[in-house]
Amino acid sequence: MAQPPGFVNPAFPSHVCKLNKAIYGSSPIYILVYVDDIISTGPSTSLVTQFINLLSIQFSLKDLGSLSYFLRIECIPHSQGLLLSQQKYITDILKKAKMSDCRPISTSITCSETLTLTGAPVYPSPTDYRAIVGALEYLSLTRPDVAFAVNKLSQFMHAPTFQHWSALKCLLRYLQGTISKGLLLRKGSALN
């Protein structure tokens, strides 16, 4: 790193200044970019609108308004903040697994049975198992309640058995019963 030309301090030529506060006192705008999708937000709606207008001068863009759906995550305004839900994504996974009409249960993984590599016949369609467990890994973003079960099931992706398939179906039945749950980001809460 180097100091900007004309501002080099001869006593400290390799030092760089760290900006702790914006020089002009402007409010921050937070921008999330994923390939060709951008989410922008900030404390002032007018400032965000001004920013979008400046971007549209330089780039061809389409303002889709308030955030509602991004990367298979539904963003639902809530009285206490913003609810991140993957209800549609779960519905798609249940359809893929042919379990759209399954009976819901109240636990994500059984405690009475230990999953092991051996002891049960090999599941004949490991690709189906891998596809569903892989899809469930992305679901863990908004559903920390299934993270342990998904992690456990992913340990057997190389050689799933009927026991593992049964445990996966148990998790899918749990999701059927908790499909509307999500992650609530509360207003004013720290983001760390």
pLDDT at 1: 54
**Which segments of the chain have a pLDDT < 50?**
none
pLDDT at 192: 67
The predicted-structure confidence for 71-88, as pLDDT tens digits, reads as follows: 889 999 999 999 999 999
d(Cα 13, Cα 17) in Å, to the nearest integer?
A: 11
Helix extents (H) in the chain: 45-58, 87-96, 126-139, 147-154, 162-177
Q: Contact 136/153 with Cβ under 8 angstroms?
A: yes
pLDDT at 141: 87
